[in-house]
Structure 1
Amino acid sequence: MAAEKLTKARLVQILIIFIILASAFTWRTYHHQPVKKSEDICHLDRSCSLNLEGITLSINFKKIDKEQVEISIQAIENKDKSKIMALSVSSNVLTENTHHIQNETFRLNVRAALNNSRWSIETQDGKQHWFTLKE
C-alpha cells in the first residue's frame, strides 16, 4: 500500500475519515461531563451526614483506644424504618471485614490508624456508599 500512488478517490476517502474522527472527538470533548465522585469525608469525634437509598444517616466515630472505635449511627430521615437494620459497615482498617448493624451504637476492633481510612456502608440490596474518615 505504501508503494501505491495517491489517487483523488483515496485522498477524498482519507479526508472524509479524518473529518468524521475530528468531529467525533470534538463532539465528545464538548459534551463531556465529569463523573461526580460520591465519596464523602467524615471526621473523628464529629457528626457526619450521609444519604443512602432514601435514608439520611448521622454517623459519629469516636476513638476508644488505638485498637477500638465506637460508631454511632442514627437515622435522621428514613422512609422505611426496617432498612436501618439491614445496613452493613466495612473498612480496610477493621479486623473483621464486614459488620452488620444490630443496634445504633457499636464498637469495632481496628488494626491500623483511622486517618484516611476508607469505609463503606451497604444496604441489603447491595448499594454501597464510600467515605473517608479523617482524624
Structure 2
Amino acid sequence: MPDLLDELLPDYDEKRTIENARHFLLRDFPRLQRMAHLSVADLHSPSMDGLPKAPIKANSADEPIIKRLDAKALVQAAYDAINACSATSRYILIKAYVRGHGDTTIYLDLHMGRSQYFVHKQTALLEFAFAFQSDYDLVVRKT
C-alpha cells in the first residue's frame, strides 16, 4: 500500500510547483482563452486542386479548428480545476487570475491581512496545480 501512496502523493517541490501554477495562470491561461475564441475569419477553407497528393496528411484548414478545440478543452479543464479547490482558494484564483483583480482588493474583500492573504494565495496555487494535474501537470516532483 505505501507504494501506491508514494505514486499518488509523491514528494514535490512546493516553491517550483507554485511558480509553475502562477506562470500557467498568468501567461498560458490568457493565451489559451484567446485561442479558444478564434474568429471564423481566422479559419481557412481547404484548397482542392483535384489531383491526388502523396503522402496524405491532415488538411491544413483543420489545424486552426483542432487548436481551438484543444485550447477550449484546456481552458475548461483549468476552470474545472479552479472549481475543485476550496472556497477561499477558488475565490482567490478567480479574482486574481480570471478577473484580474489586484491583491489588495482581494485580501480586503476576504477581510484578511496582507501576509495571511499571501499564505492563502500560495495554498490556492498548490490546490490548483494538484487539481489540474491530470490535464496539465504543473507539479514539480523532488528527485
TM-score for the superposition, normalised by structure 1 = 0.29
Q: Greater share of strand residues, 1 or 2?
A: 1
| Relative contact order, higher structure (CA 8 A, sep 6+) | 2
**Structure with greater Cα Rg:** 1
TM-score for the superposition, normalised by structure 2 = 0.28
